Amino acid sequence: MRKTAAALIALLQPAVALADEGGASVWLPGQFASFASVPGDPGFSLETIFYTRKASATGGVDFSRGGGLLAGLSVSEQYVYLTPSYTFETPVLHGQLALGVTFSAGRSDATVWGVLTGPGGRSISGASSDSASGISDLYPIASLKWQQGEHNVMVYGMGSVPTGPYDPNRLAGVGLGHWAVDWGMGYTWLAASGFELSVTAGLTYNFVNPQTGYQSGMDGHLDVGTSYSFGESLYVGAVAYLYNQVSPDTGGSARLGDFRSRVAGGGPQIGWSFAAGGAAIDVNIRGYKEFAAQNRPEGWNAWLTLSISAAAPRKPGS
């Protein structure tokens, strides 16, 4: 029985390669939220994000003899993202240019389980788990922002450089193992009354993973944030996202055909700004409960964002 269960787990591991290889994507849904397109203060700044996520997924694959293989994937992740950036004072194309790069480190825990049921109703089960931690991939980003009264517009471009450790034979990992580029645009309406609405949309193109020959499809994403400011420093509101794969995976072990991923999420947010020791500090806490997932783990995630700059603190209602 033990040998049979071990063989079952060996079968399960390629089966859990969900849409977007391994069920993971370069774009982290919820990456942009409120005030995304509002120009910042010129000079250097540092943004730190503490991110945690728990999610799970189940799926089924039919066997030719009438049996069924039911697989489940459960993930738990904790990451820290550091983004030093520089915002130029001199306009570029009549807009404000900012350049930055995101460094990340974290831990990922994954568990897979399965039940193999035969035509006679007999079944065997097995499970396997794995953990990985370390420095993850690099994400350089550039943005241009324009402001006209209450209206703010942004275009951005981001890359994913596979610098983190990646092992195709393991369930867990902190690196994705392939290059990618992401680009998009955003809009923020920042009214004098204190109401704010931000919408950011983008597309991700994934290059072939050279270790597996697998190429994740193109991903589309929409991030939304809205808030109302109480005074000059405190705001509360809501956030949401929609993530949808717009083309199928190809190559390697992508044997499931047009197998695309999708997930949506939403939840509350709160933020405030203050000055300390000559530095401006912005704090934002937000959380998302996911739903409508397809071929992708579904659960919840929480963000704590801390932004530090040398300029005056942002006034959300101004």
> Hey, what domains does the chain have and what are their CATH numbers?
2-309 (2.40.128)
Contacts of 255 (CB under 8 A, 6+ apart): none
Helix (H) or strand (E) holding 85: strand 68-87
pLDDT tens, N- to C-terminus, the chain (318 residues): 444 333 333 334 444 445 677 677 899 999 999 999 999 889 999 999 999 999 987 654 332 222 333 356 788 999 999 999 999 999 999 999 999 999 999 999 988 776 444 555 555 556 778 888 999 999 999 999 999 999 999 999 999 999 988 887 777 788 889 999 999 999 999 999 999 999 999 999 999 999 888 888 999 999 999 999 998 789 999 999 999 999 988 876 544 456 688 999 999 999 999 888 888 899 999 999 999 988 888 999 999 999 998 865 454 433
Distances (CA, A) of 69 to 96, 98, 125: 53, 49, 10
Q: What is the pTM of this model?
A: 0.84
- For residue 31, give Cα distances in angstroms to 63, 303, 312: 39, 9, 24
What's the token pair of residue 239? 């956030």
pLDDT of residue 295: 80
**In which residue are the tokens 């324009």 written?**
146
Cβ–Cβ under 8 Å, residues 314 and 295: no
